[in-house]
Amino acid sequence: MRSLLLLAMSWVASGAYAETKDTFVPAVNFRLTASWADVPAGEVSVTVRPQGSTLGLNALQAAIDYPCLVRHGESLEVLLTPLPPRSSYAIGKLPIPVKGDDFALILGNTPTHRTLAWLVPTGLDDLPAGATFVINRSARKIRLSLEGQVLELEAGAVRRHPLIAARRIVAQLKVEALEGPQWTMARSNRIIISPGQRMIMLIGPGQHNPEPYHIATVIDPNSGSYQKTLALTATPPLADQPAK
């Protein structure tokens, strides 16, 4: 089984200017950490719209102090620069939520090598230790069960699962897909969940595994010492098991 590669970066942007209009609400200390859930497809940069300020995300730097004001309600345009001879191109524009200042930019590749991006809130109020955030990159609505607690997600949706681990458990994970009017069992696995970690789980086909409900995870393995950045680690994918 091929392991996923890591690309972990962080951006800290401090608001340095006074508020001058009622509609101007800067996100002070806006923090962005990024990780690939699949093999990296190139260098990544983001542009704040509509200002047009651009930041290149450097995998060799743990944090970047960038003198740029970010306004809630605006957007981040994600740019990808693949290996030559291909040129840079935009892979999507993600709205900056109206609240919060701590996010993870998760990037993944489809079986047809198209790169997608999701912006996940990762402040401790939004993603506490022991919690799991789920990204449904499959083509259908899914129902994800962890230890009997259920989360339903439309195709393309992202949301935190209700289970928050208070102790280390080997949890029963079940994925059902809505096939027409009926739910069909798609995956059944066991997965370790710990109060000392936070997890972002992607369900759906990836670049190296086109299985419709394949599972990939990105882990913050040391939530107990969380201070400045979310130390994301792309983990090896779960072994694909037949539905039970």
Is residue 81 assigned to a domain? yes
Question: CA 129, 38, 117: angle at the middle one, nearest 5?
Answer: 75
Report the chain's mean pLDDT, rounded to a whole number. 76
Q: How far apart are CA 53 and CA 48, in angstroms?
A: 5
Buried/exposed 46-58: b ≥16 CB within 10 Å, e otherwise = bbbbeeeeebebe
Is residue 243 assigned to a domain? no
Is residue 242 assigned to a domain? no
Total domains present in the chain: 1
When pLDDT is cut at 50, 70 and 90, the band that residue 10 belongs to is very low
The answer to whether residue 29 scores a pLDDT higher than 90 is: no
Lowest-confidence segment of 14-28, 155-169, 191-205, 218-232 by average pLDDT: 14-28
pTM reported for the whole predicted model: 0.77
β-pairing verdict for 9-13 and 64-65: parallel
Is residue 1 assigned to a domain? no
Is residue 83 assigned to a domain? yes
Q: Which of 14, 110, 91 is nearest to 46 (CA)?
A: 91
Is residue 51 assigned to a domain? yes
Is residue 201 assigned to a domain? yes
Q: Which domain holds residue 228?
A: 9-234
Is residue 69 assigned to a domain? yes
When pLDDT is cut at 50, 70 and 90, the band that residue 61 belongs to is very low
* 8 Å CB contact between 143 and 176: yes
